[in-house]
Chains A and B, each alone.
Chain A
Amino acid sequence: MRNILRKEMKLSSSVLSYLFILFGLMFLLPGYPILCGAFFVSLGLFQSFQTAREANDIVFSALLPVAKKDVVIGKYLFVCLIEGCAFLLMAFAAVLRMTVFSQSVVYRSNALMNANFFALGMACVIFGMFNLIFVGGFFKTAYRFGRPFVTFIIAAFLLIFAAEALHHVPGMEALNAFGSEHIVLQVTLLAAGIVLYLLITVISCRRACGYFERIDL
Chain B
Amino acid sequence: MIIAEVKDLVKKYPSFELKSVSFALESGRITGFIGRNGAGKTTTIKSMLNMIHPDSGMIRFFDSPLTGNEAKIKKRIGYSAGTISWYPRKKIRDIVDIVKRFYDTWDEAEYRKYLELFSIDETKTPLELSEGMKVKVNLMLALSHRSEVLILDEPTSGLDPFSRNELLEIFTDLKNEGVAVFFSTHIISDIEKCADDIVYISQGRIVAAMQKADFIRQFSVAGESLEYTMLRLEGGAVHA
Contacts and interface: CB of A to CB of B under 8 A. Distances in A.
A63 interface: yes
A184 interface: no
B98 A6 contact: yes
Contact of B53 (A3, A54, A62, A214): A214
Contact of A57 (B53, B87, B99, B101): B87
B: contact size bracket: 20 to 34
Interface of A: 3, 6-7, 10-11, 54-57, 59-60, 62-68, 70, 214, 216-217
Interface in B97-139: 97-99, 101-103
Interface stretch (B69-77, B163-171, B184-192, B210-218): B69-77
A23 to B, nearest CB: 25
B87 A70 contact: no
Contact of B98 (A7, A70, A217): A7
What are the 9 tightest A-B residue pairs by CB atom distance, in nearest-first order? A65-B74, A216-B52, A65-B75, A55-B87, A60-B86, A217-B51, A3-B101, A7-B98, A67-B71
A10 B86 contact: no
A192 B81 CA distance: 47
Contacts of B77: 65
A68 B87 contact: no
A62 B51 contact: yes
Contact of B84 (A56, A68, A216): A56
Interface in B49-91: 49-53, 70-72, 74-75, 77, 79, 81, 84-90
A59 B102 CA distance: 16
Contacts of A11: 87, 90, 94-95, 98
B46 interface: yes
Given A3-B102, A66-B102, A217 B86 contact: no
A65 B71 contact: yes
A63 B90 CA distance: 18
A11 B49 CA distance: 22
B70 A67 contact: yes
Given A10-B98, A11-B94, A60-B86, 12 more contacts: A3-B101, A6-B98, A6-B101, A10-B94, A57-B87, A59-B51, A66-B102, A68-B70, A216-B46, A216-B52, A217-B51, A217-B52
A55 B52 CA distance: 20
Nearest to A2: B101
Contacts of A57: 86-87
Nearest to B84: A56
Contacts of B101: 3, 6
A56 B95 CA distance: 13
Interface in B34-59: 46, 49-53
Interface string B137-181: 000000000000000000000000000000000000000000000
A81 B197 CA distance: 49
A86 to B, nearest CB: 25
Contacts of A67: 70-71
Contacts of B46: 216-217
6 contacts: A3-B101, A6-B101, A54-B88, A60-B87, A63-B51, A70-B71
A171 to B, nearest CB: 54
